[in-house]
Amino acid sequence: MAGERESSVPPAHRDSDNGFWKTALSLGEPADRSHEGAQCGVRPLDWLIDIFGEDLGFWLGYLGNGKHLAWYASFRFTILAAIFGALIGLGFGLGGAGLLRARFRPLRIAGLAYANIVRGVPDVLFFLFFPLAFEQLVEWLISTQVCSPEAVAARAGSWPPCMEANWFLSTTEYLILASVSLGIVYGAFTANVINGAMNAVPKGQLEAARAYGFSRNQVFWRFQVRQMWIYALPGLSNVWMLLIKSTSLLSLLQIPDIVLWAERLGAPNFVPTAGLVHPDWRWRYYLVLFVFYIILTFLSERGFAWLRERVGRGVVAEG
Amino acid sequence: MKHILLAAAFAAAMTGGAAAQTVRLGTEGAYAPWNFVNDAGEVDGFEIELGNELCVRAALECEWVVNEWDTIIPNLLAGNYDAIIAGMSITDERKETIDFSDNYYPPDPSKFAVAGDSAVDFDAMSGLKIGVQGATIQAAYAEATFGAGNTILSFETADQSIADLSAGNVDVVLADGGYLDPIVNASGGALKIAGPDVMIGGGVGAGLRKDDDELEGKLNAAIAAMKADGSLNELIVKWFDPPNTF
Amino acid sequence: MQPFLDDIATLAKPSLYNIYFAAASIPLGFVLAVALALVRASRSRIGSSLAGAYIYAFRGSPLFIQLFMFYSLALSLNISVWKPNGLDWLVLHPLFLGTFVLALNTTAYSAEIFYGALKTLPRGEIEAARAFGLSRFQTFRAVVWPNMLRLAWPAYTNEVVFLFHATTLVYFTLPVINEQKDLMNKAGELFERDYNAFLHFSVAALYFLAISLAIFFLSNLVYRRLMHHLGPAEAKPRVRFAPKYLR
């Protein structure tokens, strides 16, 4: 691990003496960069440079450097958190709706408490609180098993109770926890949507099914639940839109997501040894993310429209 | 239930034991030339080279963890990494919560950076917007010294304070000289160092948990060896302009 | 119990920052949103599609990124625009810029709500008013405006609560000036001192819940007034505490 750093010093450093990176300060003068542009480029792009000239080559090289590649790769965190957050949210939503519709009063109250408390506080608060609380809970559970009383006493007032009980969270664990907290937050909204949709299924259809001799259970699963999805779709699409916007908060949990990399890439750099010298470019990177989310919203809308048409097929609208 | 938990805990303890040979080094990755993420997307800088060399000398397997500055001490205490190597100055206040290794960078005066055409009167500072990085010695110093009569803006990273300085949103940035000098030198006159140097910290060392004496001993031995054979000074000369050697 | 009470006291002042951001941006957003909704519903093709694009962009992207983007954008215009006009102290101040971006954001969401209400207004009522010889403006005052407000009020209340929650994002993105810290900032700071996530975040959550409830209560008073024309015999609708998924 240690020795590998030496060799991985990027070409940028070796170039730093010939003035290439310094000229990048005055980006308005492409002539200054002359043929050196090719040096920063990725080899396979040379043919593009031949066609479009040095400027394009320079920018392609810049946009293709390791830091940018890391940024592009970090989009996976956003997508993964959205997908798993949605799946977990659907689970919590179904569970929550079950509670809300329970015959047993305490369960109903639990459902109401879940739905209203989660929706009554900001998603950010929950997003930060849940992973911390969960980590502490796990560490506490471990500590009851592995910590000696002396070790606990020695570390009084700090966390975890003893170092053996420490649970190391890497990006993967944080991503899982982030997905779960997204799921819990948006599950509360989903529960409401599903509850409403269950009520929206026309009573007449259910009664007709009963009259045809289907059992209560069959009516519930084959008619009410199946029909429910049609009525729930508009609400679910709303929740999904909220959820994808919340994925921008991943960086608050130390996940190196698109927002964190945008900040790193855009931050002004004055020191040639640290990479390309450039002024503050942050708003350009944030603009890219701004557009990215709008496109994501657009695609989601189209997806839900398609879905609605599909599930709506063969359903006779009331009235 | 208890058995399952025990087994899980045992597994955790086992991996914990195996991981004990892997020392995690926490850094910020946004404080060039100390530590930063280079254009290749990797952590790089004086402290990265130093940390890797220290690990070689102490025969430790090391890996880097990038963590935002304002939570860097809490996450050390929480065990997300074992040492902070992030240009952290040794101060008495921090010593209340964490331990430090011997310094690997000599006491470094903090400096004021201003715009190249600025004429701030450092004898009578008032009505100024002073930029600092949050949770730094400079932030505490600025709050205590200039808090009355001036506006203190704290930023998440030092680079953000420089961005606001060059955009004219703050009048003065107070930061480590070792951080400001290369920036000012490279700015081509857009920024300059002005006013008095302020001695705040007692050199830069690795931050460690208080109960981690073993790691502290190993790092101290490696730092002493690097000081003795001059390789630490070589690294400082390589990364800092002007260098502040031992 | 004592630490709990201490936290309530410590977080009282920070909560004022959240209340300030909401209180400053909501009236501005309300006025802009009504105007935008009217443009959106107008016959002007260009106006309508521009308003639509604005609404789509700001509803389709996270506030978190909008805040980051507008701060760095404002910063990059500082030397060329704000400074020469002596506006830099105002524009880049989080108490202004945060409010401004929140207002831009809530304008889009509220405009969508009002636009939806405008679309469902009964055409007959408007035509009747025009037939009675009321001018365009009179029709708006007497028919469109009150009806739109009535239809949109429950959804708009939700939006206000959501915007209040969204104020937490301001200090995650903009620089913190002196001791100007909001609930989340302060709760985070307290947490970093003793790692008691349950205590500090619960108290912050309690503040948010309490203020959200207060918003619903106030909104209900307004709604009752809006629905004043309904006689005592008719069941009066109420705005219930049920933050919805409308945002």
* C73 close contact with A: CB closer than 8 A: yes
Residue A23: pLDDT over 70 = no
Cα separation, A230 vs A222, in Å, equals 13
**Residue C126 counted as domain residue:** yes
Q: Tell me, what's the pLDDT at C235?
A: 61
Assign A41 a pLDDT band (cuts: 50, 70, 90): very low
Tokens of C241: 């505490």
Residue C32: pLDDT over 90 = yes
Residue A314: pLDDT over 70 = no
Q: Tell me, what's the pLDDT at A37?
A: 40
Residue A5: pLDDT over 90 = no
Cα separation, B7 vs B4, in Å, equals 5
Mean pLDDT, chain B, rounded, equals 86
Burial A97-128 (b: 16+ CB within 10 A, else e): bebbeeeeeeeeeebeebbbebbbbbbbbbbb
Which letter does DSSP use for residue A221 in this model?
A: I
Residue C70: pLDDT over 90 = yes
Tokens of C111: 């405009």
**Residue C50 counted as domain residue:** yes
**Residue C59 counted as domain residue:** yes
Where does B110-198 sit in CATH, by number? 3.40.190.10
Q: Tell me, what's the pLDDT at B16?
A: 40
Centre a 10 Å sphere on the Cβ of residue A1 and count the other Cβ atoms it contains: 14
Assign A84 a pLDDT band (cuts: 50, 70, 90): very high
Note whether B163 contacts A280, CB cutoff 8 Å: yes
**Residue C158 counted as domain residue:** yes
Class of domain B22-106+202-239: alpha beta
Tokens of A90: 């659907």
Q: Which residues contact B228 (CB under 8 A, 6 or more apart)?
A: none
Q: Tell me, what's the pLDDT at A48?
A: 63
Residue A4: pLDDT over 80 = no
Q: Tell me, what's the pLDDT at A281?
A: 93
Q: Which residues pair with B63 in a beta bridge?
A: B24
Residue C84's domain is classified under what CATH number?
Answer: 1.10.3720.10
Q: What is the pLDDT of residues C37-56, one digit of tens each?
A: 999 999 999 999 999 999 99
Nearest to C163 by CA among C91, C73, C69, C243: C243
Q: Tell me, what's the pLDDT at A310?
A: 87
Note whether C73 contacts A283, CB cutoff 8 Å: yes
Q: B37 and B95 in contact (C-beta within 8 Å)?
A: no
DSSP codes joined into one string, chain C: -HHHHHHHHHTHHHHHHHHHHHHHHHHHHHHHHHHHHHHHHSS-HHHHHHHHHHHHHHHHS-HHHHHHHHHHHHHHTIIIIITTTT-HHHHT-HHHHHHHHHHHHHHHHHHHHHHHHHHHS-HHHHHHHHHTT--HHHHIIIIIHHHHHHHHHHHHHHHHHHHHHHGGGHHHHSPEETT---HHHHHHHHHHHH--HHHHHHHHHHHHHHHHHHHHHHHHHHHHHHTTTS-TTSPPP---S---S--
Residue of C68, C76, C78 to mutate when probing chain B, most B C-beta within 10 A: C78
Once rounded to an integer, what is the mean pLDDT over residues C171-183? 89
Assign A177 a pLDDT band (cuts: 50, 70, 90): very high
Tokens of A310: 């599909």
Strands B61-66 and B22-27: parallel
Note whether C63 contacts A245, CB cutoff 8 Å: yes
Q: Tell me, what's the pLDDT at C243?
A: 55
Q: Tell me, what's the pLDDT at A49?
A: 63
Mean pLDDT, chain C, rounded, equals 90
Q: Tell me, what's the pLDDT at B142?
A: 93
Least confident range from A19-33, A163-177, A251-265: namely A19-33
Q: Measured between beta carbons, which residues in chain C are less than 8 angstroms from residue B164?
A: 75, 92, 175
Mean pLDDT, chain A, rounded, equals 82
Once rounded to an integer, what is the mean pLDDT over residues A183-206? 92
Fold of A75-253: MetI-like fold (1.10.3720)
Cα separation, A224 vs A202, in Å, equals 9
Q: What is the pLDDT of residues A199-230, one digit of tens each?
A: 998 899 899 999 999 999 999 998 898 889 98
Which of the pair, A125 or A311, is modelled with greater confidence?
Answer: A125
Residue C164: pLDDT over 60 = yes
Residue B242: pLDDT over 90 = no
Q: What is the pLDDT of residues B86-112, one digit of tens each?
A: 999 998 888 988 999 999 999 989 999
Which of the pair, B146 or C245, is modelled with greater confidence?
Answer: B146
**Residue C194 counted as domain residue:** no
C204 → chain A, closest CA residue: A125
DSSP codes joined into one string, chain B: -HHHHHHHHHHHHHHHHHHTTEEEEEE-SEETTTEEE-TTSSEESHHHHHHHHHHHHTT-EEEEEE--GGGHHHHHHTTS-SEE-SSPBP-HHHHTT-EE-S-SB----EEEEEETT----TTS--S-EEEEETTSHHHHHHHHHHTTTSEEEEESSHHHHHHHHHTTS-SEEEEEHHHHHHHHHHTTTSEEEEEEEE--S--B--EE-TT-HHHHHHHHHHHHHHHHTTHHHHHHHHH-SS----
Of C169, C191, C208, nearest to A120 by CB-CB distance is C208
Note whether B71 contacts C192, CB cutoff 8 Å: yes
Note whether C195 contacts B78, CB cutoff 8 Å: yes
Note whether B39 contacts A145, CB cutoff 8 Å: no
Peptide bond between residue B109 and the one before it cis (omega within 30 degrees of 0): no
Find the domain containing C64 and state its range.
23-180
Cα separation, B202 vs B200, in Å, equals 7
Which of the pair, A126 or A33, is modelled with greater confidence?
Answer: A126
Residue A44: pLDDT over 70 = no
Cα separation, B31 vs A127, in Å, equals 28
Assign A28 a pLDDT band (cuts: 50, 70, 90): very low
Pseudo-torsion of CA A16, A17, A20, A24, nearest 10°?
Answer: 60
Cα separation, C65 vs A290, in Å, equals 7
Peptide bond between residue B242 and the one before it cis (omega within 30 degrees of 0): yes
* A266 close contact with C: CB closer than 8 A: yes
Assign B200 a pLDDT band (cuts: 50, 70, 90): confident
Q: Tell me, what's the pLDDT at A2?
A: 38
Q: Considering its fold, how many domains does chain C have in total?
A: 1
Q: Measured between beta carbons, which residues in chain B are less than 8 angstroms from residue C93?
A: none
Cα separation, B242 vs C7, in Å, equals 47
B143 → chain C, closest CA residue: C178
Neighbouring chains to B with at least 3 Cβ pairs closer than 8 Å: A, C
Residue C188: pLDDT over 90 = no
Q: Which of residues 211-230 of A touch C (CB under 8 A)?
A: none
Cα separation, A217 vs A86, in Å, equals 27
Once rounded to an integer, what is the mean pLDDT over residues A233-243? 93
Once rounded to an integer, what is the mean pLDDT over residues B76-93? 90
Q: Is the pTM of this model over 0.90?
A: no
Q: B30 and B88 in contact (C-beta within 8 Å)?
A: no
Please report, for residues A108, A197, C101, C137, C179, the alpha-carbon distance to residue A104 in angstroms, rounded to integers and kept in the order given: 7, 21, 46, 55, 49
Once rounded to an integer, what is the mean pLDDT over residues B16-44? 82
Cα separation, B38 vs A82, in Å, equals 29
Q: B246 and B127 in contact (C-beta within 8 Å)?
A: no
B53 → chain A, closest CA residue: A2
Residue A17: pLDDT over 80 = no
Q: Tell me, what's the pLDDT at C23?
A: 97
A308 to chain B, closest Cα gap in Å = 43
Q: Classify the C-alpha dihedral B1-B6-B9-B15 as positive or negative.
A: negative
Cα separation, A39 vs A62, in Å, equals 11
Q: Tell me, what's the pLDDT at A7?
A: 36
Q: Which residues pair with B151 in a beta bridge?
A: B129
Q: Which residues contact B43 (CB under 8 A, 6 or more apart)?
A: B27, B29, B35, B36, B37, B64, B66
Percent of chain B with pLDDT over 70: 91
A8 to chain C, closest Cα gap in Å = 32
Once rounded to an integer, what is the mean pLDDT over residues A170-178? 90
Of A116, A242, A298, nearest to C241 by CB-CB distance is A116
Assign A140 a pLDDT band (cuts: 50, 70, 90): confident
Note whether C169 contacts A124, CB cutoff 8 Å: yes
Of B9, B61, B159, nearest to A268 by CB-CB distance is B159
Residue A12: pLDDT over 70 = no
Q: B128 and B120 in contact (C-beta within 8 Å)?
A: yes
Q: Which residues pair with B105 in a beta bridge?
A: B204
> In what helix (H) or strand (E) does residue A277 lie, and over which residues does it extend?
none
Q: Tell me, what's the pLDDT at B45?
A: 94
Assign A15 a pLDDT band (cuts: 50, 70, 90): very low
* C188 close contact with A: CB closer than 8 A: yes
Q: Measured between beta carbons, which residues in chain C are less than 8 angstroms from residue A192?
A: 242, 244-245
Note whether C79 contacts B167, CB cutoff 8 Å: yes
Q: Which residues pair with B131 in a beta bridge?
A: B153, B173
Q: Measured between beta carbons, which residues in chain B are less than 8 angstroms from residue C76?
A: 167
Burial class (CB in 10 A: 0-12, 13-18, 19+), C221: exposed
Q: Classify the C-alpha dihedral B158-B164-B170-B171 as positive or negative.
A: positive
Q: Tell me, what's the pLDDT at A296?
A: 96
Question: How many Cα atoms occupy the beta-carbon half-sphere of B78 within 13 Å?
Answer: 23
At residue B61, φ and ψ (nearest 5 deg) are -90, 120
C72 to chain B, closest Cα gap in Å = 9
Centre a 10 Å sphere on the Cβ of residue B182 and count the other Cβ atoms it contains: 21
Q: Which amino acid is at A148?
A: S
Segments making up each domain of chain A, as ranges: 4-63, 75-253
Of C57, C169, C212, nearest to A120 by CB-CB distance is C212
Least confident range from A63-72, B151-160, C105-114, C189-198: namely C189-198
Pseudo-torsion of CA A172, A173, A178, A181, nearest 10°?
Answer: 150
Centre a 10 Å sphere on the Cβ of residue A182 and count the other Cβ atoms it contains: 29
Nearest to B173 by CA among B133, B205, B137, B134: B133
Nearest to A9 by CA among B56, B240, B45: B45
Residue B211: pLDDT over 70 = yes
Once rounded to an integer, what is the mean pLDDT over residues C181-186? 92
Note whether A154 contacts B211, CB cutoff 8 Å: yes
Once rounded to an integer, what is the mean pLDDT over residues A97-107? 94
Three-state DSSP at A71 gives helix
Once rounded to an integer, what is the mean pLDDT over residues A22-43? 39
Q: What is the pLDDT of residues B116-134, one digit of tens each?
A: 998 888 988 889 999 999 8
CA diameter of chain B:
71
Q: Tell me, what's the pLDDT at A53?
A: 72
Tokens of B236: 């400082």
Residue of B35, B39, B159 to mutate when probing chain A, most A C-beta within 10 A: B39
Q: Tell me how far apart the terminal alpha carbons of chain B are, to the nearest angstrom.
A: 58
Tokens of A77: 């965190």
Neighbouring chains to C with at least 3 Cβ pairs closer than 8 Å: A, B
Note whether B33 contacts A273, CB cutoff 8 Å: yes
Note whether B163 contacts C75, CB cutoff 8 Å: yes
Q: A93 and A225 in contact (C-beta within 8 Å)?
A: no
Residue A34: pLDDT over 50 = no
Q: Which amino acid is at B135?
A: A
Which letter does DSSP use for residue A316 in this model?
A: P
Residue B68: pLDDT over 90 = no
Of C76, C175, C178, nearest to B155 by CB-CB distance is C175
Residue B13: pLDDT over 80 = no
A141 to chain C, closest Cα gap in Å = 16
Centre a 10 Å sphere on the Cβ of residue A209 and count the other Cβ atoms it contains: 18
Least confident range from A178-187, A258-267, B21-30: namely B21-30
